[in-house]
Structure 1
Amino acid sequence: MLPLPDPRDFPPRIATGAFILNAGLSKLKADEATAQGLHGMACTAYPFLKKIEPDRFTRLLAWSEIAVGSSLLVPFVPTRLAGLALTGFSGGLLGLYLRVPGMREPGSLRPSQDGVPLAKDSWMFGIGLGLLGAGPLRGSAASHRCRRHRGCAH
């Protein structure tokens, strides 16, 4: 049986998971103009995506967001696994922020007015990294105490 996440992990998992799940569900209803806009921006950052049709790309993106958001919201998904999914996904989104022209102030990492919506992906990346490091480390005092007093095997 998999252990439930530490209660301290629930707030970032719920807030981030709900945000990403909502974004994915919204993209399932995207019209053609929205799909073309999303695809065009993604292709600017990642040219290999030009091989995928805009509608298909948007559906794949939507289902990816639904999967990542759900992994964060479902408590039986281990926190580190959910953190890995979030870190990978948000890392890809940060690539958009860094590679798409006009998202940053010239010569700076500071977001332009157009880049503010993508700059939030840095928060998701940080949350993902935090979740990757969740739980007691092997050899720590907490894990020894747990084994000694409760018979847990970490």
Structure 2
Amino acid sequence: MITPRYCVTMARYNAWQNRQVKAAFEALSPEDLTRDRGAFFGSILATANHLLWGDRIWLSRFTGGEPPVGSIAESVGLTTSREDWALERFRVDSALLRWADGLKQVDLAGPLRWQSGVTGREMVKPVGLCVTHMFNHQTHHRGQIHAMLTAAGAEAPVSDLFVLPDEGPWL
């Protein structure tokens, strides 16, 4: 379904997007970042926190690492400031890049098992599908953040994948 190279490209894309989101956050006041904007998770920061939490939980499933605490509902409060978010986002983006860079094709084959908080049961899905979902989840919620940043008067990131720079820095 997917290749290690695809994962590296998408991890790079994710880090590049998050650097741009961080810059956009710096142009907004704390009130602008936490104002309820009618999005699914409410505010810009809450949506960014949910996305950060989601990346952490999927990465823990792929690597066997420690999952984040809390549920999806609690994910919105993962960090309380743009500075805390930026630091944690950097850490997770670094971990995603290291994970993707170390993948072999065999790592993307076979089933992934996990206990889903969403469904309340054990899930078994192809690893490749789950990795694709993680990257799609990132894009989905960054689209929401993009819309909220635009509505807040901030300059939203360039998000076209074909514009991804060929060279780093990725973090």
Mark yes or no: TM-score above 0.5: no
- Structure having the larger proportion of residues in helix: 1
- Report the TM-score, using the length of structure 2 for normalisation: 0.32
- Report the TM-score, using the length of structure 1 for normalisation: 0.35
- Structure having the larger proportion of residues in strand: 2
- Which has more radius of gyration? 1
